Amino acid sequence: MIAQSWKCSSCGHVAIGLFPPESCPACHAGREAFITEHEFLFPKEETDAVIKACWKVSYGLYVVTSVQGERMNGQICNTLFQITSDPPRFAIGINRRNLTHEFIASSEVFAASILGDGDHRFVRRFGYRSGRDFDKLKGIATRIGRTGCPVLEESIGYVECALLSDKTVDAGTHSIFVGEVVGGGILKDGEPMTYAHYHATKSSAQ
Ligand SMILES: Cc1cc2nc3c(=O)[nH]c(=O)nc-3n(C[C@H](O)[C@H](O)[C@H](O)COP(=O)(O)O)c2cc1C
């Protein structure tokens, strides 16, 4: 595993990664503007330890939904966290290729339904196929929240956010969206699903 630091020859911005960014997040110069500075080598024997340490970072699991006109869609997301409490704001990491990304970027709203620890069926439905291929919300009990986004009735609770679009971060394959909380609530008792619990139980779960 070799990560390098890349310096933008146009503005001096430094990015770390295996490859230079597609464009400079500071001055928007193209990839060709980046020159490599230093090399950080992870010796082979450290690579396994680095990967295992990454696996110890814990997450929950959520169905993140959004809208575009009359259309609605949702996807599984583990990269959601509350980034500030006053004002209450959440950040999510969403792949640019996802239909949900397209919807959030255009409507500037999203909702996150918090999955319970037995909700494997929702992960299977929302996490492995795109809404471009089929209507993932068809037949799923939902309520429409204040933002117009659907919320899963069978989740243990939800938050709804309005995007702070000037705070969206280009993270390469993903965008990091930051949203201010504009609604939410608890829908039932239950323990939230964690990413680790999902992976430990997914092969035996219904
Ligand atoms: C356990 C799990 C966690 C996931 N976490 C994320 C995530 O944090 N961000 C993301 O963009 N995709 C994540 N995905 C993948 C998306 O849910 C998946 O690509 C989905 O099919 C995208 O659907 P869409 O094209 O309808 O938006 C995850 C999938 C699974 C199974």
Residue 51's SS3 state is helix
d(CA 78, CA 115): 11
The arithmetic mean of pLDDT across residues 155-177, rounded, is: 96
- The domains of the chain are located at 2-55, 62-201
**Predicted confidence (pLDDT) per residue in 123-164, tens digit:** 999 999 999 999 999 999 999 999 999 999 999 999 999 999
For residues 24 and 52, the model is more confident at 24
Are 26 and 41 in contact by the 8 Å Cβ rule? The answer is no
For 32, counting Cβ atoms within 10 Å of its Cβ (0-12 exposed, 13-18 middle, 19+ buried), the class is exposed
Query: Would you say residue 41 has pLDDT above 70?
Result: no
Give 103 Cα–ligand 1 centroid separation in angstroms: 14
pTM of the model: 0.82
Query: Would you say residue 97 has pLDDT above 60?
Result: yes
Are 104 and 110 in contact by the 8 Å Cβ rule? The answer is yes
Give 2 Cα–ligand 1 centroid separation in angstroms: 26
d(CA 56, CA 178): 24
Atom of ligand 1 nearest to the CA of 76: 17
Whose alpha carbon is nearest atom 10 of ligand 1? 94
Ligand 1 binding site (Cβ under 6 Å of any ligand atom): 61, 73, 75-79, 93-95, 98-100, 123, 127-132, 174, 198
Residue 54 — pLDDT band, cuts 50, 70, 90?
confident
Residue 118 — pLDDT band, cuts 50, 70, 90?
very high
Q: Which two tokens stand for residue 170?
A: 């280009």
Query: Would you say residue 45 has pLDDT above 70?
Result: no
Range list of H helices, the chain: 44-55, 99-107, 120-127, 195-201
pLDDT at 75: 98
The arithmetic mean of pLDDT across residues 28-35, rounded, is: 87
Which of the four CATH numbers 2.30.110.10, 3.40.50.800, 3.30.60.50, 3.40.50.720 does domain 62-201 have? 2.30.110.10
Residue 18 — pLDDT band, cuts 50, 70, 90?
confident
User: Among 69, 73, 49, which residue's Cα sits nearest to residue 131?
Assistant: 73
Dihedral, CA atoms, 143, 83, 28, 1, nearest 10 degrees? -110
Which of the four CATH numbers 2.20.28.10, 2.40.30.40, 3.30.565.10, 2.40.110.10 does domain 2-55 have? 2.20.28.10
Give 128 Cα–ligand 1 centroid separation in angstroms: 7
Query: Per this entry, what is the length of the chain?
Result: 206
pLDDT at 178: 98
pLDDT at 43: 66
Q: Provide the mean pLDDT of the chain.
A: 92
The arithmetic mean of pLDDT across residues 15-37, rounded, is: 84
Which amino acid is located at 26 in the chain? A
**Predicted confidence (pLDDT) per residue in 75-85, tens digit:** 999 999 999 99
Q: Which of 95, 115, 120, 175 to mutate to test the pocket of ligand 1 (most atoms within 8 A of CB)?
A: 95
Q: Which of 98, 113, 126, 174 to mutate to test the pocket of ligand 1 (most atoms within 8 A of CB)?
A: 98
Residue 64 — pLDDT band, cuts 50, 70, 90?
very high
pLDDT at 60: 97
Are 29 and 11 in contact by the 8 Å Cβ rule? The answer is yes
Give 127 Cα–ligand 1 centroid separation in angstroms: 5
Give 41 Cα–ligand 1 centroid separation in angstroms: 30
Q: What are the C-alpha distances in Å from 115 to residues 149, 190, 192, 198?
A: 16, 9, 6, 10
Are 76 and 126 in contact by the 8 Å Cβ rule? The answer is yes
Whose alpha carbon is nearest atom 4 of ligand 1? 77
Phi, psi (degrees; rounded to nearest 5) at 45: -65, -20
